[in-house]
A and B are shown apart, each in its own frame.
Chain A
Amino acid sequence: MNNNKTNSGALLDVKGLRIEFPTRRGTLTAIDGVSLSLKAGEILGVVGESGAGKSLTGTAITGLLERPGRIAGGEIHFNGQRIDNLPSEAMRKLRGKQIGSIFQDPLTSLNPLFSVGRQLIETIRTHTDLTPRQARARAIEMLTQVGIPAPEQRIDQYPHQFSGGMRQRVVIALALCVNPKLVIADEPTTALDVSVQAQIIDLLKTLCREHGSAVMLVTHDMGVIAETCDRVAVMYAGRLVEIGPVQEVVKHARHPYTRGLMGSIPKLGEEVEHLVQIDGAMPRLSHIPQGCAFNPRCPYATARCREEKPEFANVGQGEVACWLWDGVDPATDPDRLFSNVTLAQRARQQADGVGSAPKKSMQACEQEV
């Protein structure tokens, strides 16, 4: 293909993905240079605030990007095949069979006029050579697997006869009925009751392990990520800011934004007067700041952060896009790095009197490390 190195062991390999929306007021870049990969059977969490581009990345992988949105750059490889430029018919055959999808709202994901069984059988028969009778048996088996009681009777019922949690189980059955290698689950529990969420996530995890499917789990629930995923990718304003093994990212976040996200999860048993929050809001796509997109909200931002876009760099077992890590030993304990940076900032402030001088804190920090 071209000279870009391909991550040969990966099931899914997204490289420098860029998605643009041409509008009357100019082109908006919704996804800017996102690179991530998934190994077979791996569960990758994708987190970020609303509008960070998590779902859009998933949509682009399934080839369901709607106009006027378009892939303006980068490549998507699946199972060794480049899929971002496949003809629509070839992509359609891949969808459902190789790449399953689970949508956010189970109440609207199923066609209200068709029975659950018809939708399952239709999907199974589209991708396999099973006879109607075999497909029906397979559908019943899938419903059993997702934990729907009395599947022989339930199969002929209509979506409105199922509760929200049950419908999401049906959606999972639909996504997994032909054993896809990859499942893209777009906030599969956001629309559900808290009591059902854990069951559904658990089911999804167990089934995908059984079927050997890799999962790209899009969510903004850090709890779900911590319990379910092998690796986590953190997105902010259409860019990837950090990616790494789940324990590393949750416990030793290396990007200031990730640290903010983790800090904002209230913990049981801890008395807190105020919930920790990240000040400000994510920029609109039309007003993404120059340099690092997070710089206006970042307590550690320096002049360089406001001008230059940080590159992805290997740190520890993951990767991070932050200038704080530039020139720093990748093995440094993030907690130490950040406390040093804070100390250095304070020292500068005291020296300068009032007003922080983040410009110099960067160098100060580098000297200390």
Chain B
Amino acid sequence: MLSFLIRRLGQSLLVMLAVALLAFSMFRYVGDPVTNMLSQDASVEEREQLRESLGLSEPLYVQFSTFVVQAAQGDFGISYRNQRPVSELIAERMPATLELVAVAFIISLLVGVPMGVYSALKPHSWLSHVFQTLSLIGISLPTFVTGILLILTFSVTLNWLPSFGRGEVVSIGWWSTGLLTASGLKSLILPGIMLGLFQVTLIMRLVRAEMMEVLRTDYIRFARARGLSNRAVNFGHALKNTLMPVITIIGLQLGAMIAFAIITETVFQWPGMGFLFIQAVSFVDIPVMSAYLLLVSLIFVVINMIVDMLYFMLDPRLCADRGTANSH
């Protein structure tokens, strides 16, 4: 397992370096930063001086290694637009995004998994048909449409929930949380549903398909033939086997939710990283964009590692340490 872990770590580092190269080349190809930073009537000497002080006259590989070293220390430079360190901006916005994603993720698991299990166990019941239809709608409706419909219904018409922002937040150290105030919690509901809805339908369909597959296997039939109770068979034997492949997808989806909370954050004016990114794009704020790119890929890499570790914990077949297969 250890060697596997080390290999995975090495692969992850390679992935991160490749992404860093992409992020780095953004600076080069989206115009000359010196032109962006100086006024139009700056002299050639001034340009050269700035170029020198920014390290832009160094060979490319030196510049890249400096970029990597700084990024590894959390230094992504100064935002062009806000004139503040990018790391500070992101640290400020991260809690909002993570809380939103956590809420959406919990919604999608708590709703998606039971729905999937139910419609796998009772594929012919009317409720399963309702779930199937709903999931079809959920999977094909663009998220911004559901978001706008949610706002229309619950904010505009019923006036139950706020239509934008995080509400009141409480600061715990550098982390600002909306989970401790009533208005913060209320503000989380609609964006949480919007972000989670697609995941609910995805998880439901995935769990349903996987579980129906598992229920047909010999070991489930054998478990029934041994007279185990339906509960033990369905929730003990079948569910655990169902969740094995589902975990991979759920893990990747968690990464995707963090990365693509952009749309939800835009619709709800949510002060998170996605919203920051969208603003950065419209101002060609390259340091912010490249930092976001690196951060998102880091999140994906870390989640993938965690999923792999979970596999080791859940599937004894992967754990070679527990004793070698005896083939006689």
Contact = CB atoms under 8 A, between A and B. Distances in A.
Interface of A: 62, 64, 92-97, 100-101, 103, 105, 108-115, 119, 122-123, 126-127, 157-158, 160-163, 166, 171, 174-175
A313 B126 CA distance: 50
Contact of A110 (B222, B228, B323): B222
Given A157-B323, A161-B325, A103 B221 contact: yes
A103 B222 contact: yes
Contacts of B326: 161-163, 166
A96 B232 contact: no
Given A103-B218, A161-B323, A166-B326, A111 B225 contact: no
B328 A62 contact: no
A82 B224 CA distance: 20
A161 B221 CA distance: 22
A174 B217 CA distance: 17
A111 B323 contact: no
A95 B228 CA distance: 8
A163 B324 CA distance: 12
B235 to A, nearest CB: 13
B228 A123 contact: yes
Interface string B217-233: 11111111111111010
A95 B229 CA distance: 10
A62 B226 CA distance: 10
Contacts of B236: 122
A119 B224 CA distance: 12
B225 A64 contact: yes
Contact of B327 (A103, A105, A158, A163): A163
Contact of B314 (A96, A97, A113): A113
B219 A108 contact: yes
A126 B227 contact: yes
A122 B222 contact: no
B230 to A, nearest CB: 8
B318 to A, nearest CB: 10
Interface residues of B, number: 31
B315 interface: yes
Given A96-B225, A96-B227, A160-B316, A109 B218 contact: yes
Interface of B: 217-230, 232, 236-237, 240-241, 244, 314-317, 322-328
Given A103-B222, A105-B218, A163-B328, A111 B241 contact: yes
29 contacts: A64-B221, A93-B227, A95-B227, A97-B227, A100-B226, A103-B221, A103-B225, A108-B217, A108-B218, A109-B222, A110-B219, A111-B219, A112-B241, A113-B241, A113-B244, A113-B316, A122-B228, A126-B228, A127-B227, A157-B322, A158-B316, A158-B317, A158-B322, A160-B325, A162-B325, A163-B328, A166-B326, A166-B328, A171-B222
B219 A109 contact: yes
B247 to A, nearest CB: 13
A330 to B, nearest CB: 39
A93 B217 CA distance: 21
A112 B237 CA distance: 10
B228 A113 contact: no
Contacts of A163: 326-328
Nearest to B238: A111
B225 A101 contact: yes
A172 to B, nearest CB: 12
A101 B316 contact: no
A93 to B, nearest CB: 6
A113 B221 contact: no
Best-buried of B227, B228, B240 by chain A (most CB within 10 Å): B227
B223 to A, nearest CB: 7
Contacts of A109: 218-219, 222
B232 A126 contact: yes
Contacts of B219: 108-112
A21 B133 CA distance: 29
B321 to A, nearest CB: 12
Contact of B227 (A94, A110, A119, A166): A94
Nearest to A171: B222
A95 B221 CA distance: 12
A96 to B, nearest CB: 3
Contacts of B227: 92-97, 123, 126-127
B225 A113 contact: no
Given A103-B218, A163-B327, A111 B228 contact: no
A171 B244 CA distance: 24
Contacts of B223: 111, 119
A123 B236 CA distance: 13
B116 to A, nearest CB: 19
Contacts of B226: 95-96, 100-101, 123, 126, 174-175
A62 B314 contact: no
Contacts of A95: 224-227
A112 B218 contact: no
A120 to B, nearest CB: 10
A336 to B, nearest CB: 45
A294 B241 CA distance: 44
Contacts of A114: 237
A359 to B, nearest CB: 47
Contacts of A100: 225-226
Nearest to B230: A92
Nearest to A165: B328
Nearest to A96: B227
A93 B227 CA distance: 6
A160 B317 contact: yes
